[in-house]
Amino acid sequence: MKNWKLILTATVLILIIASILFINKKKMSVAYVGGIKDVYYVKVEKAGFKDLSESFSLVGTITANNDVNIISETSGRVTAVFAKVGDYKEAGSVLFQVDDELKKAALMSSEANYEKAKKDYERFNQLYKEKSASDSQLDQAKLAYSLAEAQYIVAKRQYNDTKIKTPISGYVTARYVDVGSMVQGAPQATLVANIVDISKVKVKLNVAEKDAFSMKVNDPVSITVDVYPGKEFKGKIESISYKSDEAHTFPVEISLSNENKNPLKAGMFARVEFTSLQERKSIVIPREAIVGSIRQSRVYIVQNGIAKLRDIVTGRESGTLVEVLQGLMDGEEIIVNGQNNIVENTLVTVIK
């Protein structure tokens, strides 16, 4: 009898314990179609439209719009100098005068021969029309005239070369000869000066492959330099090379007008801010919400307290934000924290 009572008592205790455990389990779990799942706590953000622009900055070197080394095209002694470093010279201005005495005499002689040959040809041409001169006489007069004209052109050029001029307008940045210096012409021409045109300047830099293909010629850029804190210069992309260098970067040139108030000089460093794509409103989400890679992106959205996995197509990145091209609508709640602990159809509780 006692054994029977002990067995009955133990059975009742087991049923009571089982009931308590079942009730506790019911409190910790929620039944729904498809089974019972544990509740997970997550943080969410709403997908929404924002102004998204991709920008980046690079440091380059400012160069002159035109930088020309002036060389001598004649041989002789410098007799006069008309330029010093820092001078501004218009295109065609004489910088140096080389001894021209012999060149001038040669020019005068060739000019006289040219005038005589020209008159002889005109006279024989008239006689030929009157049938008083033969074909050979006219041909010889024409040949002499052509030779004399060629010699006159050469002598005139040689005389003009004694005046060394600048082909561009700009500032003299270097002068290498003085009065009395001997200069040589081709093939070992003497370097006499350097002229730079900084009415416009260029910023030369190299950009990575992915950046080179996101920009185009004439895109606007902003330029800043350390010597003018807070000053922003406006420029545009002048050229993008079609060939990369050994480091697989592409040379890019930025052009901008120089200012008298805040002048830029060749050789300065400049920071260029690029806006490679036009700013537009796009649906964006935090980068941390993406499950998987950018190329095969997925996110969890919350629908009626249940996590649903959604395939999306991503676009540009801007800081911690990612553009969503397909797969999400404005206002949908996406899980940004806690998604690594869940699977699809998990019941979730949103932490406010």
| 188 shares its domain with 238 | no
Residues 210, 97 share a domain: no
DSSP structural state of residue 159: H
Q: Model pTM greater than 0.85?
A: no
Q: Look up the CATH number of the domain holding residue 319.
A: 2.40.420.20
**Where is the domain boundary, 275, 291, 324?**
275
Q: Do 89 and 172 lie in a common domain?
A: yes
* CA distance linking residue 274 with residue 207, whole number of Å: 11
pLDDT at residue number 149: 95
Handedness of CA 292, 293, 298, 302 (dihedral sign): positive
Structure letter (DSSP) for residue 338? S
**Spatial contact of 306 and 343, defined as CB atoms under 8 Å apart:** no
Which pLDDT value is given to residue 128? 86
19 assigned to some structural domain: no
Quote the tokens at residue 49: 């439209």
- Per residue in 204-246, pLDDT (tens digit) is 998 888 778 878 899 999 999 999 998 999 999 999 999 988 8
Domain that holds residue 232: 57-64+195-275
Of 226, 259, 275, which one is at a domain's C-terminal end? 275
The set of residues, in sequence order, having a beta carbon less than 8 Å from that of 216 and lying 6+ positions away, is: 237, 240
Both 95 and 170 in a single domain? yes
Give the chain's domain count: 3
Residue 303, domain member (yes or no): yes
Q: Per-residue pLDDT for 116 more than 60?
A: yes
The domain boundary residue, chosen from 136, 165, 192: 192
Question: Which residues touch 137 (CB under 8 Å, ≥6 apart)?
Answer: 124, 127, 128
For residue 20, the model assigns a pLDDT of: 53
Assess whether 200 and 266 both reside in one domain. Answer: yes
Q: Are residues 88 and 169 in the same domain?
A: yes
Q: Mean pLDDT, to the nearest integer, of 56-83?
A: 93
Least confident of 126-130, 132-136, 318-322: 318-322
Mean pLDDT of 270-276: 83
Three-class SS state of 279? coil
- For residue 152, the surrounding DSSP H or E stretch is helix 135-160
Tell whether 4 is covered by a domain.
Answer: no
Same domain, yes or no, for 319 and 344?
yes
pLDDT digits (tens, 9 = 90+) for 292-317: 876 678 999 999 989 999 999 887 67
Q: Are residues 95 and 167 in the same domain?
A: yes
**Residues making up the chain, counted from first to last:** 352
| Percent of the chain topping pLDDT 70 | 85
